[in-house]
Structure 1
Amino acid sequence: MIHEHALLTIGPADVERFEKAVPEAREVLLSAPGCRAVSVHRSVDLTGGYLLRVSWERIEDHLDTFPATAQATRLAELIGTCFAEPPHVVHFADEEV
């Protein structure tokens, strides 16, 4: 299992629209091949900051398979225009050190 952590920066004018879209965006992601879990967390110290955490069965499910899916297209429609800057994405292994 791989855990994607994406730091999202949402423009002030788009926060309400983004938060309304999150429940559907979560369901869209969960229906993607290889997606196992999704959560979105609001930052307490960064205005417009959110952490999107997605658990994927394999990193290839996120990087190779997902971009060509209908789910990726729908996710972009739901939240893609809310970003004030490109998301910062880092992947983490499931194993602890």
Structure 2
Amino acid sequence: MIREIAQLVIDPAKEAEFLEAVGRAVPIFQAAGGCLGMSLERVIETPGLYRLHVLWETLEAHTEGFRTSDGFQQWRALAGPFFTQAPRVDHSEPVVTGFGS
């Protein structure tokens, strides 16, 4: 399993509209091949900073499947207008699991 973590920066004054847009995008991720789950977290210490977590079966499910799909274009049309800078995206995979999620 691969975890995509995208750091998203928005104008804090537009938070409500941004969160509504991300909520409307949930079905896009649900329909994406190889997508196992997604969540959005607000960074408490930094207004306007969010982290999108998406679980993928494989790296290619994200980079070759989703990123080249109509779903990705729909996601960017919903959320992209709120970004004040380009998202920073990293991928990780578990190497040690202690406990919890």
TM-score, with normalisation over the residues of structure 2?
A: 0.88
1:13, distance to aligned residue in structure 2 (A): 4.1
Report Cα offsets for 1:15-46 as digits up to 9, x if no partner: 22111112121221121111001000111011
Structure 2 match to 1:79: 79
Query: Which structure 2 residues correspond to residues 40-79 of structure 1 after superposition, within 5 A?
Result: 40-79=40-79
Unaligned runs of 5+ in 2: none
Structure 2 match to 1:9: 9
Structure 2 match to 1:36: 36
Deviates more, 1:76-85 or 1:23-32: 23-32
3-state SS of paired residue (1:85): coil
Report Cα offsets for 1:34-92 as digits up to 9, x if no partner: 10010001110111011100000000011111122121111011101110001111111
Structure 1 match to 2:23: 23
Unaligned runs of 5+ in 1: none
1:94, distance to aligned residue in structure 2 (A): 2.8
Structure 1 match to 2:94: 94
CA distance in structure 2 between the partners assigned to 1:27 and 1:11 by the alignment:
24
Deviates more, 1:53-62 or 1:23-32: 23-32
3-state SS of paired residue (1:44): coil
Aligned residues: 97
CA distance in structure 2 between the partners assigned to 1:94 and 1:34 by the alignment:
17
1:12, distance to aligned residue in structure 2 (A): 3.1
Question: Larger C-alpha radius of gyration, 1 or 2?
Answer: 2
